[in-house]
Amino acid sequence: MDTIPVFRPLLEEDERAACLRTLDIGWLGMGKSVGAFEAAIQSFIGAPDRHAVAVSTGHAALHLSLILAGVGPEDEVLTPSFNNIADLQAILAVGATPVFVDVHDDTLCIDFEEADRLVGPRTKAVIVMDYGCGLADHDRAADFAKQHGLRVIHDAAHSFGSTFRGQRVGSFSDMTMFSFDPVKTITCIDGGVLVVRSEAELTKLHELRLIGMGQPVNVMYENRRAWTYDVRGLGFRYHMANLHAEVGLAQLGKMDRIVSSRRDVCRQYVRAMGGVRGVRLPQIDLENAVPFLFYLRVPQASRDALREHLRMEGIDTGIHWQPGHWFTLFKACRRGDLSVTEKLAAEILTLPLHSIMAQTHVDRVASAVRSFFEGI
Ligand SMILES: *Cc1c(COP(=O)(O)O)cnc(C)c1O
């Protein structure tokens, strides 16, 4: 019996051909394909007035977003403790500290009433993350930021392709970050994008991602280099490479198939596991959300036994995530009441959801969960 992994990218002939084509051209670093990938992302999210900048990882995009937001030493950034470690490390990377906010029990996204209580004089930004197969309240995020004079960084690593009030994610937030790491809805092998609004931020990002070199982007996007340029500020080696951008372009070309498969699998999971005693299913709006991960909440006392049962059935499961405030590194960080986070962290379990998942795998997962709870 093959083991069903939690995540699996959809890699076909297109990706293989794209890699070989790029290797044959021989310009592997940042160049033409990166420009093409940025243009494709911008057109996909429907934001002609915004700028998508491709970088090496989602973490790099978050780090650069905090620099653009002017967040620095002694500053604070509000974000859920129930979060990816990349967000928390990005905050530390600019010398700031996270302030841990609880999440809503239904969406598992940031609770703005809690955030309101935690805003302090050093608060500069809020990182609002969409989780799993749902979206945060982005209207509330914009109001909250306006009221307190904060920048909003929208971590949309889980929600690429989703829409909120008819608008594609990436087209409405102050700044939006995507990750295209190996397991995300679509992958660039490793990659990230930051979407910003102003020309000034775009120019700054171009330098920040290229170790501060003021290389004209239009030259680089012809697979050429300018050998003379100025260096005006801090920079990192965070650019995206052509090879990775080509994989991303091939993936974008099959987005429709990926979206319908992910939605269909979630619909089947909900149908098969709804009503199973002991299982709490996520709230999913399959009209608007493109699900990235599918999770269950089960009684704390049965989670480990369920994981073991699934493992014996050849089904891998994940835990997304252990909350940030549990880690040694973040013990001293300021926080609000985290009772929802504490509870859900002990109950949550990620089931396999692939970019296109085999029907036999979907059936095996659903029946193994049912057999655990129903003893059949
Ligand atoms: C994957 C992920 C990140 C980090 O992206 P990388 O590309 O892996 O650096 C950040 N936030 C969330 C919610 C993620 O899922």
Q: How confident is the model at residue 375 (pLDDT cuts 50, 70, 90)?
A: confident
Query: What's the whole-number mean pLDDT along residues 323-340?
Result: 98
SS3 content of the chain, % helix, strand, coil (to 5): 40, 15, 45
Q: Which protein residue's CA is at the shortest distance from atom 15 of ligand 1?
A: 157
Contacts of 90 (CB under 8 A, 6+ apart): 59, 62, 63, 65, 66
Please tell me the distance from the alpha carbon of residue 235 to that of residue 213, in angstroms, as a whole number: 8
For residue 324, the CA-to-ligand 1 centroid distance in Å is: 14
For residue 50, the CA-to-ligand 1 centroid distance in Å is: 22
Total number of residues shown for the chain:
376
Quick: pLDDT tens for 142-188.
999 999 999 999 999 999 999 999 999 999 999 999 999 999 999 99
pLDDT of residue 376: 55
pLDDT of residue 167: 98
For residue 369, the CA-to-ligand 1 centroid distance in Å is: 28
Q: How confident is the model at residue 190 (pLDDT cuts 50, 70, 90)?
A: very high
For residue 331, the CA-to-ligand 1 centroid distance in Å is: 22
From residue 367, alpha-carbon distances to 124, 166, 284, 364 in Å are 47, 35, 21, 5
pLDDT for 72 beyond 90? yes
Cβ proximity of 164 and 135 under 8 Å: yes
pLDDT for 281 beyond 80? yes
Q: Which residue type is seen at 29?
A: G
Q: How confident is the model at residue 110 (pLDDT cuts 50, 70, 90)?
A: very high
Cβ proximity of 99 and 325 under 8 Å: no
pLDDT of residue 194: 99
Count other C-beta atoms under 10 Å from residue 143's C-beta.
12
User: What lines the ligand 1 site, CB under 6 Å?
Assistant: 57-59, 84, 86-87, 129, 155, 157-158, 179, 181, 192
220, two tokens:
């680089």
pLDDT of residue 53: 98
Query: What's the whole-number mean pLDDT along residues 267-274?
Result: 97
Give the H or E element holding residue 351: strand 348-351
For residue 374, the CA-to-ligand 1 centroid distance in Å is: 35
Please tell me the distance from the alpha carbon of residue 297 to that of residue 23, in angstroms, as a whole number: 45
For residue 230, the CA-to-ligand 1 centroid distance in Å is: 32
Query: What's the whole-number mean pLDDT along residues 232-238?
Result: 97
> Which of 79, 181, 322 is the best mutation target for the ligand 1 pocket, counting ligand atoms within 8 Å of the beta carbon and taking the most?
181
Please tell me the distance from the alpha carbon of residue 275 to that of residue 287, in angstroms, as a whole number: 22
Q: How confident is the model at residue 122 (pLDDT cuts 50, 70, 90)?
A: very high
User: Given the CA of residue 130, which atom of ligand 1 is nearest to it?
Assistant: 13
User: DSSP code of 98?
Assistant: E
pLDDT for 307 beyond 80? yes
Please tell me the distance from the alpha carbon of residue 315 to that of residue 372, in angstroms, as a whole number: 13
- 3-state DSSP call for residue 63? helix
pLDDT for 61 beyond 60? yes
Q: Which protein residue's CA is at the shortest distance from atom 11 of ligand 1?
A: 84
Q: Which protein residue's CA is at the shortest distance from atom 7 of ligand 1?
A: 58
Query: What's the whole-number mean pLDDT along residues 311-324?
Result: 98
Average pLDDT, the chain: 97
Please tell me the distance from the alpha carbon of residue 292 to that of residue 359, in angstroms, as a whole number: 18
Query: What's the whole-number mean pLDDT along residues 278-289?
Result: 94
For residue 118, the CA-to-ligand 1 centroid distance in Å is: 25
Q: Which protein residue's CA is at the shortest distance from atom 6 of ligand 1?
A: 58
Quick: pLDDT tens for 342-358.
999 999 999 999 999 99
> Which of 6, 56, 59 is the best mutation target for the ligand 1 pocket, counting ligand atoms within 8 Å of the beta carbon and taking the most?
59
Query: What's the whole-number mean pLDDT along residues 128-146?
Result: 97
